[in-house]
């Protein structure tokens, strides 16, 4: 058990909610434990009581009550050279604050009961000159490829996490869907919720809901049909206005134009046999505020499985030099 201590908020911590600052500093504590310490006045900032949602700034002093030591963890074997080379080969952008990867299809972002190899488990390979590994600030589904953002230090993690939560980021996805959506430009809105009984992320499913259903969330997706292949399939650009689980996959299936290769979300329209392989959904581009100022814009090249389908269907990615342009009037 630690004794009472006073800790100064560092410059690298940035401005953060006190509960999130505590969770980052003491990751073995649960959110419930942190909230109880704050609620009972055991945590104080510059001598004053605070609420979990209050923010701390660099230079402020935080009183930390006695905290149990973290349980000893089993030693983690070092990252293999093969995995280090692999994770570094995915880097699209790297600076002092941010790393952006081009995540491949078929590899999970985080581990689970049956997932031993995943991006989070290889982040030690992206320390480079830093002592600490970078931190994930958002997720992509296992079968979705494309832009994945990492923060290189706590201040950047807090800044980027808030940018994603406040929808200050702009994300564009490319998909190949069955059939040709009409109208060719539109916005999809619906209420959705997690289907009961699926607690493992790999088995998670979203289902249609109404506003007053328990756990219901509102989802909004903008779409533009970029090109069509004789009515059998279409290249669609998607912009999620909200960031719900499986939102794009759910919305396209509900529209009657499911994303080709999706094993979970299907529609009545038959999928052409040559499009029944891997999920054809790619996080093509990302635009977000940079922790050190300005704006960061990253475009992820198409993965091989999607490039092959584009070639098969006669789609030319050069027809969309700027992935954001089709949506500029809707920002």
pLDDT bin (cut points 50, 70, 90) of residue 51 is very high
Handedness of CA 321, 323, 327, 331 (dihedral sign): negative
**DSSP characters for 25-83?**
H-TTS-HHHHHHHHHTT-SEETTEE--TT-EE-TT-EEEE---PPPPPPPPPPPPPHHH
**120 has catalytic annotation:** no
Which of 13, 97, 141, 170 does the annotation list as catalytic? 141
pLDDT bin (cut points 50, 70, 90) of residue 272 is confident
pLDDT bin (cut points 50, 70, 90) of residue 125 is very high
Whether residue 200 is predicted with pLDDT greater than 80 in this model: the reply is: no
The span from the CA of 284 to the CA of 139, in Å, is 14
pLDDT bin (cut points 50, 70, 90) of residue 71 is low
Q: Which residue has the tokens 């399939």?
A: 233
pLDDT bin (cut points 50, 70, 90) of residue 209 is very high
**Over pLDDT 90: what percentage of the chain?**
69
CB neighbours of residue 44 within 10 Å: 17
Q: Does 91 or 66 have the greater pLDDT score?
A: 91
Q: What is the pLDDT of residues 285-309, one digit of tens each?
A: 999 999 999 999 999 999 999 999 9
Whether residue 145 is predicted with pLDDT greater than 80 in this model: the reply is: yes
Q: Which residues of 51-87 are buried (b: 16+ CB within 10 A; e: fewer)?
A: ebeebbeeebebbbeebeeeeeeeeeeebeeeebebb
Residue 121: alpha-carbon gap to chain centroid: 16
H or E stretch covering 100: strand 98-103
């Amino acid at each position: 058990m630690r004794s009472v201590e006073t800790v100064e908020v560092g410059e690298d911590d940035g401005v953060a909610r006190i509960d999130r600052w505590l969770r980052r500093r003491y990751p073995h504590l649960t959110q419930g434990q942190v909230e109880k310490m704050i609620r009972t006045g055991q945590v104080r900032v510059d001598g004053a009581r605070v609420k979990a949602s209050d923010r701390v700034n660099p230079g402020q002093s935080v009183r930390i009550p006695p905290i149990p030591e973290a349980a000893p963890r089993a030693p983690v074997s070092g990252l293999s050279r093969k995995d280090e080379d692999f994770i570094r080969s995915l880097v699209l952008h790297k600076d002092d604050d941010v790393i952006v990867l081009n995540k491949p299809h078929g590899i999970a972002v985080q581990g689970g009961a049956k997932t031993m190899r995943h991006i989070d488990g290889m982040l030690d390979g992206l320390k480079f000159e830093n002592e600490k590994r970078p931190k994930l600030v958002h997720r992509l589904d296992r079968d979705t490829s494309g832009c994945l953002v990492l923060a290189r230090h706590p201040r950047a993690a807090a800044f980027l996490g808030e940018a994603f939560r406040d929808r200050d980021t702009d994300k564009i996805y490319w998909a190949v869907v069955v059939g040709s959506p009409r109208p060719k430009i539109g916005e999809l809105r619906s209420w959705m919720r997690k289907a009961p009984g699926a607690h493992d992320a790999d088995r998670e499913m979203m289902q249609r809901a109404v506003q007053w259903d328990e756990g219901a969330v509102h989802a909004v997706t903008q779409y533009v049909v970029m090109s069509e292949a004789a009515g059998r399939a279409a290249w669609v650009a998607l912009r999620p206005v909200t960031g719900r689980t499986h939102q794009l996959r759910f919305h396209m299936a509900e529209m009657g134009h499911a994303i080709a290769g999706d094993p979970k979300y299907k529609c009545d329209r038959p999928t052409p046999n040559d499009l029944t392989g891997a999920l054809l959904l790619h996080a093509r581009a990302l635009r977000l505020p940079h922790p050190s100022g300005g704006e960061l814009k990253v475009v992820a090249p198409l993965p091989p499985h999607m490039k092959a389908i584009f070639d098969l269907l006669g789609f030319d990615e050069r027809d969309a030099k700027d992935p954001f342009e089709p949506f500029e009037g809707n920002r």
